[in-house]
A and B are shown apart, each in its own frame.
Chain A
């Protein structure tokens, strides 16, 4: 049974009935079960976790790009503070887990370097142009946002290209990997998160400390899913490796030669290119993000609204920004998820540097949007 909302296009069903919803849940469960039976239970579970991420981000209308934008434009610190609380919860569980199970679990640990800092800055700018980071672009595409859908394939191509050239970029200059670990590392991380939250509240408008209920829902759900992800996959949540892998697979299938890339010709990556995409951790959670966002948007009748029209130069900017997002995220050793959320949450110093550089880039990206035809704000 379905109803037609007055805001919907004529004849477009907007609110799914109980039977439709039950049928959809059975269908989604069947897909997860099929992956578990065909690829293995871990991979079915990872798809389910990815669906949870998508449902959470779309359901609670929570993300990473929007809160940074609101902090910069409106001095609303609440979303940024919510992100920091979420990371603190993840770190409080992940640090002891990693300390006690270093052989089975690994963190999102990467070196700080020139290309890493530049990549994070550029990523921050590009994510504000398309109003979507790594997870945000996937969620936006799944929930019917045309900008996200157009940016996604170019994000994937850029991610492949960035990984292809990654060794050249890191040879420009990198420090050894610096990891905060154990009780002292966790204390330093929590103090750092509290300090950034305090600074944000100090600079923010009065009342920013009052987080809306939906933020608390998102904080708890995201933190819980991220911890389960670490336990199941043995590694923290990430996004962009999977996107580049998809393009690498297509490149190989059409006769492309990846031997010229130190990254893609490495044994582990060669094996992953040859293996089914249903055995790649980040691909599965990426599929889940798209599917979960689509499911949530459909569930609450959010798919009937019209897609906004943009000038041609705006679509050009979206395509270029998508490419740049993908490429820069590889140089930066991750996006908001892999570097900021999971990097800081598992003790990598590069996550902190990423945050500073990407936030500065966001400031630039926000100011570029009007001139690119993406908004009318002056």
Chain B
């Protein structure tokens, strides 16, 4: 086995997961998308981050 086989397997798994998620999650709505840049958007940062303290 060579590294190309490992990379291919990983990429196939990632693509498969994204395809699975497309069927399982809420549909995408590009017309309701957030502005391209958070800076200057006037919106509060709302993305999840591993450093965020847990909810009480």
The interface residues of chain A lying within 8 Å CB-to-CB of B24 are 249, 252-253
A240 touches B26 (CB 8 A): no
Complex CA distance for A110 and B34, rounded to whole angstroms: 26
User: B55 touching A108 by the CB < 8 A rule?
Assistant: no
* A39 interface residue (CB < 8 Å to B): yes
A161 to chain B, nearest CB (A): 14
Q: Spot the interface stretch: A209-217, A262-270, A310-318, A367-375.
A: A262-270
Contact assessment for A40 and B30 in the assembled complex, using a CB-CB cutoff below 8 Å:
yes
Return B24 CB to nearest CB of chain A, in Å: 5
Query: Is the beta-carbon distance between A268 and B48 smaller than 8 angstroms?
Result: yes
A269 partner residues in chain B, CB cutoff 8 A? 48
A344 to chain B, nearest CB (A): 11
Is there contact, CB below 8 Å, between A338 and B3? no
Candidates A97, A106, A266, A307; contact of B2 at CB < 8 Å: A307
**CB-CB < 8 A to B40: which residues of A?**
104
- Number of residues in A with C-beta < 8 Å to the partner? 88
Total interface residues in chain B, CB < 8 Å: 45
Q: How far is the CA of A374 from the CA of B21 in the complex (A)?
A: 35
Residues of A within 8 A of B36 (CB): 40-42, 45, 232
Bound: A198/B10 CA distance, A: 40
A338 touches B51 (CB 8 A): yes
B interface, over-half SS: loop
Kindly state whether residue A191 has any CB partner on chain B within 8 Å.
no
Least CB separation from B35: chain A residue: A42
Say if the beta carbon of A24 comes within 8 Å of chain B: no
Q: How far is the CB of B39 from chain A (nearest CB, A)?
A: 4
Q: Report if A290-B28 is in contact (Cβ < 8 Å); known contacts: A39-B33, A282-B49.
A: no
A37 touches B30 (CB 8 A): yes
Option from A145, A234, A306 in Cβ contact (under 8 Å) with B47: A234
Q: Are B54 and A104 in contact (CB under 8 A)?
A: no
Across the interface, which residues of B come within 8 angstroms of A281, CB to CB?
A: 47-49
Tell me the smallest distance from the CB of A253 to a CB of chain B, in Å: 5
A339 to B44 Cα, complex, angstroms: 22
On whether the beta carbons of B38 and A294 are closer than 8 Å, the reply is no
Q: Is the interface of A mostly helix, strand, loop or mixed?
A: helix
Q: Tell me the complex Cα distance, A249–B20, Å.
A: 10
Indicate which residue in B4, B11, B27, B42 contacts A304 across the interface (CB closer than 8 Å): B4
| Contact indicator A342/B30 (Cβ below 8 Å) | no
Q: Which residues of B are found within 8 Å of A52, using beta-carbon distances?
A: none
> B22 contacts which chain A residues (CB < 8 A)?
276
- Give the distance to chain A from B2, nearest Cβ to Cβ, in Å: 5
Q: Which of A106, A167, A291 contacts B45 (CB 8 A)?
A: A106
- A97 and B14 alpha carbons, distance in the complex (Å): 34
Are B50 and A294 touching (Cβ within 8 A)? no
Do B6 and A145 touch across chains, with their CB atoms under 8 A apart? yes
Known: A167-B55, A241-B48, A253-B20. A276 touches B25 (CB 8 A): yes
Asked if B44 contacts A266 (CB within 8 A), the reply is no
Contact with B along A236-276 (1 / 0, CB 8 A): 10111100011001101100000000110010110010111
User: What residues make up the interface of B, taking CB atoms closer than 8 Å to A?
Assistant: 1-7, 9-11, 14, 17-18, 20-22, 24-28, 30, 33-55
Provide 21 A-B residue pairs closer than 8 Å at the C-beta atoms, listed in order of the A residue. A12-B4, A38-B28, A97-B39, A104-B45, A105-B39, A108-B50, A141-B10, A142-B10, A143-B7, A146-B3, A149-B6, A177-B53, A231-B38, A232-B38, A241-B49, A253-B24, A275-B25, A281-B49, A302-B3, A305-B3, A343-B51
Q: A interface vs B, CB < 8 Å? A: 8-9, 12, 37-43, 45, 97, 101, 103-106, 108-111, 141-146, 149, 152, 166-167, 170, 177, 230-236, 238-241, 245-246, 249-250, 252-253, 262-263, 266, 268-269, 272, 274-282, 287, 290-291, 294, 297-298, 302-307, 329-330, 333-335, 338-339, 342-343, 348, 350
